[in-house]
Amino acid sequence: QSDYAPYFYDNGASSKNGNMALFSISEDTAVGTQVYVLNGTDPEGDPVRYGLTFEKGSKEYFRVDSKSGNVSLIQELDREKQDEISVLVSITDGRNKVVETVRVFVTDANDEAPEFQNPPFIVAVSEDTAAGSSIYRVQAVDRDMGSGGSVSYFLQTSPFSKFTIDGHSGILRIKPGETLDYETTPTHFVTVVAKDGGGKYKGRNQVLSSTATITVNVIDAQDMPPSFIGTPYFGYIYEVSVPLLAVEIDTPERFSATADIVINLLDTNDNVPKFTSEYYIARIPENSAGGSSVATVTVS
């Protein structure tokens, strides 16, 4: 009497009934879900039993009911960590046992949010940078596939923001018509949102996003004229003071300011008295009494 070994039905990759070869399962499948049915037969019609094992050191993701062949998921899947599982499926009629190594593919679900690269995000920009200039580029990566792996950018700021961002490239620019002013706002905090294109997760469409803050430090430029405080100024100087000379050493001169200075000139004892005439003539009678006035002289 012939004794033939049992065998699995090979119903193709799209089937959930057979030997699990090239079977695909979504990474968001819930633990405990029945995901497949091992199915085969024995040529002599003997009852068969099913088995399922994994290579040494591999995580065991599935369990099979030996009689029914029902395969259940017993571990959470993560396509980003492991997108292919090697499984050893077996069928036996009690005398003969057939073992096949099959590959199970883990398909993507939109379970990963975009992740910004290379934080922190700090940029220094001169306050005289022209409007429309690009000043920084952010990049976020989404490990999902398809639309769930595409990333677009927008700013989560007020309508009065001085910045704009390119939705595809992540390039941050000074908004047209806007200028930076160190004296008014030396630091700006710009919140960027990275959003994926959406995708299925546990039966519903899901869009995921993440945020990052760009710190824009404005660098001072010589754009303000000097200003005097408390004008006009009052001062005093002696008339014999030594002359002083002020020299502008910055070239070229960009900005200037003016102020009134009131200087009061103080006198010093620097002039010798002078007679109003070089000589004087006086006539004195011989009988003049002592103490009599004989002449008047004037000095200045």
Structure confidence by residue, pLDDT tens digits, 147-187 = 999 999 999 977 789 999 999 999 999 999 999 999 999 99
Span of 204-218, 242-256, 258-272 with lowest mean pLDDT: 242-256
Span of 72-76, 157-161, 226-230 with lowest mean pLDDT: 226-230
Q: What is the pLDDT of residue 87?
A: 98
The single-letter code of the amino acid at 29 is T
What CATH architecture does domain 115-219 belong to? Sandwich (2.60)
Q: What is the pLDDT of residue 298?
A: 79
How far, in Å, CA of 264 to CA of 242, rounded?
A: 16
How far, in Å, CA of 253 to CA of 276, rounded?
A: 54
Q: What is the pLDDT of residue 293?
A: 79
The tokens of 41 are what?
A: 């037969």
CATH no. for 7-107: 2.60.40.60
- Tell me 172's DSSP state: E
How far, in Å, CA of 260 to CA of 232, rounded?
A: 5
- Tell me 240's DSSP state: T
The single-letter code of the amino acid at 25 is I
* Fold agreement between 7-107 and 115-219: yes
Q: Which residues make Cβ contacts (< 8 Å) with residue 161, sequence separation at least 6? A: 155, 175, 190
How far, in Å, CA of 254 to CA of 236, rounded?
A: 31
The single-letter code of the amino acid at 100 is E
Span of 28-32, 55-59, 215-219, 288-292 with lowest mean pLDDT: 288-292
Find the mean pLDDT for residues 16-25.
96
Higher pLDDT, 262 or 87: 87
Does residue 7 sit in helix, strand or coil?
strand
pLDDT, tens digit, 9 for 90 and up, residues 175-186: 999 999 999 999
How far, in Å, CA of 172 to CA of 94, rounded?
A: 70
Residue 30 has pLDDT above 60, yes or no: yes
For the chain, how many residues are written?
A: 300
Domain ranges for the chain, please list them: 7-107, 115-219
Count CB-CB contacts under 10 A for residue 24: 12
Q: What is the pLDDT of residue 295?
A: 74
